[in-house]
Amino acid sequence: MTDSPEGTPAAENAAPHAVSRRRLFGAVGAGAVLAGAGAVIGRVTADENSGTDHADVVAFRGEHQAGITTPAQDRMHFVAFDVTTKSRDELITLLQTWTAMAERMTAGQEATEDGATGDGPYAPPSDTGEALDLAPSQLTLTIGFGPSLFDDRFGLADKKPAALLDLPHFRADNLDPNRSGGDIAIQACANDPQVAVHAIRNLARVAFGTASVKWSQLGFGRTSSTSTTQATPRNLFGFKDGTANIKAEDPNALAQHVWVDPTDDQAWMAGGSFLVARRIRMLIEQWDRAVLKEQEAVIGRSKRSGAPLGAKDEFDELDLDSKMGHDFVIPEDSHVRLASAEELGGIQILRRGYNFTDGSDGFGHLDAGLFFVAYCRNPVEQFVPMQQNLSRHDALNEYIQHVGSAVFACPGGLADGKDWSSQLFT
Amino acid sequence: MTDSPEGTPAAENAAPHAVSRRRLFGAVGAGAVLAGAGAVIGRVTADENSGTDHADVVAFRGEHQAGITTPAQDRMHFVAFDVTTKSRDELITLLQTWTAMAERMTAGQEATEDGATGDGPYAPPSDTGEALDLAPSQLTLTIGFGPSLFDDRFGLADKKPAALLDLPHFRADNLDPNRSGGDIAIQACANDPQVAVHAIRNLARVAFGTASVKWSQLGFGRTSSTSTTQATPRNLFGFKDGTANIKAEDPNALAQHVWVDPTDDQAWMAGGSFLVARRIRMLIEQWDRAVLKEQEAVIGRSKRSGAPLGAKDEFDELDLDSKMGHDFVIPEDSHVRLASAEELGGIQILRRGYNFTDGSDGFGHLDAGLFFVAYCRNPVEQFVPMQQNLSRHDALNEYIQHVGSAVFACPGGLADGKDWSSQLFT
Ligand code: HEM
Ligand code: HEM
């Protein structure tokens, strides 16, 4: 928590000190490139007093983009941009600038070489400075391109993945256009929210004149585990969420359900994935009035342990056949049954959502819910049939409402020397 | 991160485990009462993987309410309620219920004795469950009463503190009535945002029929230090914030500027304080275009080190007299000069604000800023003249806009056997 090396006056401030972005620079180096983006490449420090004991750096480059199978960080800031320029070159330049900044920031450095104060008194600082003293906090920045980017503005129509279609209308959707869509998305995840917000803000800043913020969402707590090394968190309905998720430690499941194969679709999407975002308002007042038995029947799992109904332990398999009298133990309209691979001919997705709360709704209630984010190899074949099944039959529908929706094609990870324009524009 | 003791299946989940709310119960006990609310009464655990390494419990009872001089926790959820009942007795009952829940939750327990699943399958759970596996995270809950509560509804007109007046209009105020005022406020601060959100949500839930949420605000990162044990965090303008704040370790300053003396005003406010909340939108795009020299002149401090202009170290004193040629080194319209005790005849306040970001503003920008929270002994004599000086002359005004405003009278801390109705209603 100091921007100066030990021994300087700030050290008098009695707080345990994290390694600063500047000191880190020496330790990790701008050019440090490691195999396999998403791997944690160095526990730098733990600051006992800052709430960020995750000082790790997640590799920016690798076969896949980080932020997908990276063990879900605690906080998220997500932004969707409209591209406002009509110039293909300006868009390419922006993607290149963003890449350089993203690589620096994920390594715990300031957004630019000049930084918050290094470019002299008569220039606007090229980093906004609010993350100056903070650890890297496992920041990942993941980019995706929306269907609208592939219209006739930038000559990308031929590059449009077949699977990148605006999502169809699902039953009971109540979408706000101001929280939906977008030409480009950037997902920032980090264990310190200020690090995630700082990253998005600096990327938005340099986009001025080329792209502008269409919508953004802060997720205050992860509501999925994406790795067997993580405990399962709870969503705002009080249930464990992420138990039956695809985990980073299951390469077969990832290859089958998450990563785009070069033969699938557009070649530029090799090693990439499709991101589906749904802002789901949770009607927590209705939910809170439901009795425990109803809540557990709606989800299909026990509230405290997270075990499937009829089973004992959180990680026991769903037994979809078992009956109690005439009724299935895991009810026919329960969420986990309807979303399960068994029910959906083997379909699975990687969930990576966050709890949100955005003030109140004007009717005496909190505006809170799940910012659902999922990755899959083909949204048309995976997310759409799954959500169709849920939107038609899920008992949960009485307690939720989908209010935002977007889909983005996220290219594979970057090799050395490549940037976020390389895959799409060549 | 488990709700079951070691050895149960959840422990197979490979993650390091924090002490759960249930295990904690045994260790700390519902009745544990310690001298001096705000003192940390036990470092319970540190969960390396959860982002919450502050598993401490902050004492709920004591001479003063916790959450004022408690070293500012990382996150905040703030809510203002309208009382919807006309019954004085119902309001008293709600305050009593809230007290019992607040005391339990700050100790890391479920909101009620029955808890999330203990009251049987045919009852709505009396705790919503999303904090089940989380550590206490230094949760504090601080209550305050707004001017509107002292109208003729509850027979409280005689109890209204003289200093509890709606804030006057300040120059350039652009207040949204839906983000201002309120009969009762509860400030939840914790190092894990899910713990703060859970607390507010459960309090809001049991208020159904008696009080309803008027507005709420999530603060994702603290932007003040309130203790010399804390490093100074940065606000979204990239400057260190809290350097010259009143600190918990300065009892004289607290007695003079923060705690209400029994002789000041209403006797029921003895040991209490007044909370001023201002939602301040920061026009970060304008700010980001300002050159470093301008930014530093506006604040009156150096951006990187936080030192006063003309000085070297963050904690050096402001030298308001020193000149460079005809101009003051710390400019006449700089924020720190205009807000300083020297300029204001000795006035000081305790700042305890949080950075926020609430999506985008519909014009291509992030809606972000400072949720300014301050405590003082008398807002009419402290906050009002300070903000009057700032609103008239502060160079910062070009870059900010006040969009929400509220003031609340926070009673002193609770002795054994007392509850949040005791002071006001007897
Ligand atoms: C607010 C809305 C939602 C809530 C509260 C919710 C909650 C849950 C919970 C508690 C589980 C059980 C634990 C687990 O395995 O993770 C679960 C499982 C699951 N959910 Fe959701 N969910 C929501 C929306 C969705 C949506 C929109 C989808 C996809 C269209 C989805 C797909 C799944 C899948 C695939 C599973 C695993 C099913 C299995 O194989 O056992 N959920 N959800
Ligand atoms: C977005 C709005 C604001 C920003 C960005 C801001 C920022 C800052 C910064 C960077 C400092 C210097 C570091 C420190 O001593 O904490 C400071 C000091 C201070 N601010 Fe603010 N501030 C804002 C609003 C306010 C308001 C509304 C008030 C009260 C009406 C206030 C009262 C103070 C005081 C009393 C000081 C200490 C001055 C001294 O004695 O040196 N600030 N502020």
**What pLDDT score does A2 carry?**
33
Task: Tell me the sheet residues that pair with B256.
Answer: none
Which residues contact residue B419 at a Cβ distance below 8 angstroms, ignoring those fewer than 6 apart? B95, B96, B99, B100
Contact A202, A105 (CB under 8 A): yes
For ligand 2, the distance from its centroid to the CA atom of residue B92, given in whole angstroms, is 37
Q: Is B242 a pocket residue for ligand 2 (Cβ < 6 Å)?
A: yes
From the list B382, B408, B404, the residue with the least C-alpha distance to B68 is B408
Helix (H) or strand (E) holding A193: helix A193-206
**What pLDDT score does A44 carry?**
37
For A361-384, the DSSP string reads -SSSSEEEEEEEEEEES-TTTTHH
Q: What distance in Å separates the CA atoms of residue A191 and residue A354, rounded to the nearest whole number?
A: 12
Judge: B192–A4 Cβ closer than 8 Å, yes or no. no
Percent of chain B at pLDDT > 70 equals 87
Residue of B nearest to A193 (CA): B220
**What pLDDT score does A216 carry?**
96
Helix (H) or strand (E) holding B376: strand B366-376
Count CB atoms within 10 A of the CB of residue B349: 24
Q: What distance in Å separates the CA atoms of residue A114 and residue A136, rounded to the nearest whole number?
A: 18
Q: Convert the pLDDT of each residue in B301-346 to its tens digit.
A: 999 999 999 999 999 999 999 999 999 999 999 999 999 999 999 9
Judge: B291–A122 Cβ closer than 8 Å, yes or no. yes
Q: Is B298 a pocket residue for ligand 2 (Cβ < 6 Å)?
A: no
Question: Does position B371 have pLDDT exceeding 70, yes or no?
Answer: yes
Q: What distance in Å separates the CA atoms of residue B144 and residue B80, rounded to the nearest whole number?
A: 9
Q: Which of A130, A296, A360 sits opposite B236 (nearest CB)?
A: A130
Contact B70, B38 (CB under 8 A): yes
**What pLDDT score does B365 carry?**
85
User: Which parts of A26-161 are beta strand (E)?
Assistant: 75-83, 140-145
Segment B359-367 mean pLDDT: 86
Question: Does position A3 have pLDDT exceeding 70, yes or no?
Answer: no
B4 vs A57, A223, B11, B23, B362, CA distance in Å?
32, 19, 8, 8, 46
How close A392 comes to chain B (CA, Å)?
26
Helices (H), B1-124: 21-28, 88-106
How close B138 comes to chain A (CA, Å)?
11
Q: Whose CA is nearest to atom 18 of ligand 2?
A: B336
Segment A109-134 mean pLDDT: 90
Segment B357-381 mean pLDDT: 93
Question: Does position A24 have pLDDT exceeding 80, yes or no?
Answer: no
Percent of chain B at pLDDT > 90 equals 81
Q: Is B225 a pocket residue for ligand 2 (Cβ < 6 Å)?
A: no
Count CB atoms within 10 A of the CB of residue A193: 32
Residue of A nearest to B360 (CA): A215
Q: Whose CA is nearest to atom 34 of ligand 1?
A: A339
Report chain B residues whose CB lies below 8 A from the CB of A178.
Answer: 362
Ligand that comes closest to the CA of residue A388: 1
**What pLDDT score does A43 carry?**
35
Judge: A315–B130 Cβ closer than 8 Å, yes or no. no
From the list A231, A351, A346, A330, the residue with the least C-alpha distance to A280 is A351
Report chain B residues whose CB lies below 8 A from the CB of A13.
Answer: 228, 230-232, 314-315
Phi, psi of B401 (to 5 degrees): -150, 125
Q: Convert the pLDDT of each residue in A155-175 to its tens digit.
A: 999 999 999 999 999 999 999
Class of residue A161 by CB neighbours under 10 A (exposed 0-12, middle 13-18, buried 19+): buried
Q: Is B76 a pocket residue for ligand 2 (Cβ < 6 Å)?
A: no
Q: Convert the pLDDT of each residue in A383-420 to its tens digit.
A: 999 999 999 999 999 999 999 999 999 999 999 999 99
Q: What ipTM did this prediction achieve?
A: 0.86
Question: Does position A130 have pLDDT exceeding 50, yes or no?
Answer: yes
Segment B344-362 mean pLDDT: 94
For ligand 1, the distance from its centroid to the CA atom of residue A268, given in whole angstroms, is 30
**What six digits make up the tokens of B408?**
């609340």
pLDDT confidence band for A265 (50 / 70 / 90): confident
Contact B348, B244 (CB under 8 A): no
Segment B232-252 mean pLDDT: 96
**What pLDDT score does A285 carry?**
87
3-state DSSP assignment of residue A314: coil
Which residues contact residue A13 at a Cβ distance below 8 angstroms, ignoring those fewer than 6 apart? A1, A2, B228, B230, B231, B232, B314, B315
**What six digits make up the tokens of A325?**
């009298």
From the list B230, B88, B81, B255, the residue with the least C-alpha distance to B159 is B88
pLDDT confidence band for A363 (50 / 70 / 90): confident
Of B245, B286, B309, B351, best ligand 2 pocket probe by most atoms within 8 Å of the beta carbon: B351
Of A226, A230, A236, A241, best ligand 1 pocket probe by most atoms within 8 Å of the beta carbon: A241
Question: Does position B166 have pLDDT exceeding 70, yes or no?
Answer: yes
Q: pLDDT higher for B30 or B258?
A: B258
For A400-416, the DSSP string reads EEEEEEEEEEEP-PPPT
Q: pLDDT higher for B363 or A182?
A: A182
From the list B261, B267, B258, B225, the residue with the least C-alpha distance to B243 is B225
For ligand 1, the distance from its centroid to the CA atom of residue A343, given in whole angstroms, is 13
Report chain A residues whose CB lies below 8 A from the CB of B360.
Answer: 79, 213-216
Residue B370 alpha carbon, nearest atom of ligand 2:
1
Q: Which of A132, A212, A236 sits opposite B130 (nearest CB)?
A: A236
Segment A205-211 mean pLDDT: 94
Residue A232 touches partner B, C-beta closer than 8 Å: yes
Ligand that comes closest to the CA of residue A318: 1
Contact A51, A194 (CB under 8 A): no
3-state DSSP assignment of residue B308: strand
- List the single best residue of A20, A295, A357 to mutate versus B (max B Cβ within 10 A): A357
Pocket of ligand 1 (CB under 6 A): A 235, 237, 239-245, 278, 280, 282, 299, 301, 318, 335-336, 339-341, 349, 370, 372, 383, 386-387, 390, 400
Helix (H) or strand (E) holding B275: strand B273-282
Residue of A nearest to B10 (CA): A314
Contact B244, B344 (CB under 8 A): no
Of A336, A388, A399, best ligand 1 pocket probe by most atoms within 8 Å of the beta carbon: A336
Helix (H) or strand (E) holding B204: helix B193-206
Task: Tell me the sheet residues that pair with A324.
Answer: A327
**What pLDDT score does A81 carry?**
98
Which residues contact residue A169 at a Cβ distance below 8 angstroms, ignoring those fewer than 6 apart? none
Q: How many Å from the N-terminal Cα to the C-terminal Cα in chain A?
A: 43
Phi, psi of A247 (to 5 degrees): -115, 150
3-state DSSP assignment of residue B350: strand
**What pLDDT score does A55 carry?**
53
Question: Does position A48 have pLDDT exceeding 60, yes or no?
Answer: no
Q: Convert the pLDDT of each residue in B89-108 to its tens digit.
A: 999 999 999 999 999 999 99
Judge: B229–A46 Cβ closer than 8 Å, yes or no. no
**What six digits make up the tokens of B109?**
């327990």
User: Which parts of B84-195 are beta strand (E)?
Assistant: 140-145, 184-190
Q: Which of B4, B192, B304 sits opposite A3 (nearest CB)?
A: B304
Question: Does position B45 have pLDDT exceeding 50, yes or no?
Answer: no
Residue for token pair 């982002």: B51
Residue for token pair 């209400």: B260
**What pLDDT score does B55 carry?**
53
Percent of chain A at pLDDT > 90 equals 81
Helices (H) and strands (E) in chain A, counts: 8, 12
**What pLDDT score does B364 carry?**
84
Q: What distance in Å separates the CA atoms of residue A412 and residue A410, rounded to the nearest whole number?
A: 7
Q: What is the DSSP letter of A5?
A: -
Q: pLDDT higher for A361 or B95?
A: B95
Segment B411-421 mean pLDDT: 97
Q: Whose CA is nearest to atom 8 of ligand 2?
A: B241
State chain A's mean pLDDT as an integer.
Answer: 88
B 252-291 residues inside an 8 A Cβ radius of A: 284-285, 288-291
Dihedral angle computed from the Cα positions of residues A262, A263, A267 and A270, in that order, rounded to the nearest 10 degrees: -20
3-state DSSP assignment of residue A15: coil
**What six digits make up the tokens of A80?**
């969707």
Q: What distance in Å separates the CA atoms of residue B49 and residue B30, rounded to the nearest whole number?
A: 27
Question: Does position A268 have pLDDT exceeding 80, yes or no?
Answer: yes
pLDDT confidence band for A300 (50 / 70 / 90): very high
Q: What distance in Å separates the CA atoms of residue A377 and residue A264, rounded to the nearest whole number?
A: 9
Q: Is B339 a pocket residue for ligand 2 (Cβ < 6 Å)?
A: yes
Of B250, B336, B380, best ligand 2 pocket probe by most atoms within 8 Å of the beta carbon: B336
Task: Tell me the sheet residues that pair with A186.
Answer: A79, A143
Judge: B285–A208 Cβ closer than 8 Å, yes or no. yes
User: Which parts of A149-238 are beta strand (E)?
Assistant: 184-190, 211-219, 221-222
For ligand 2, the distance from its centroid to the CA atom of residue B320, given in whole angstroms, is 16
**What pLDDT score does A426 carry?**
84
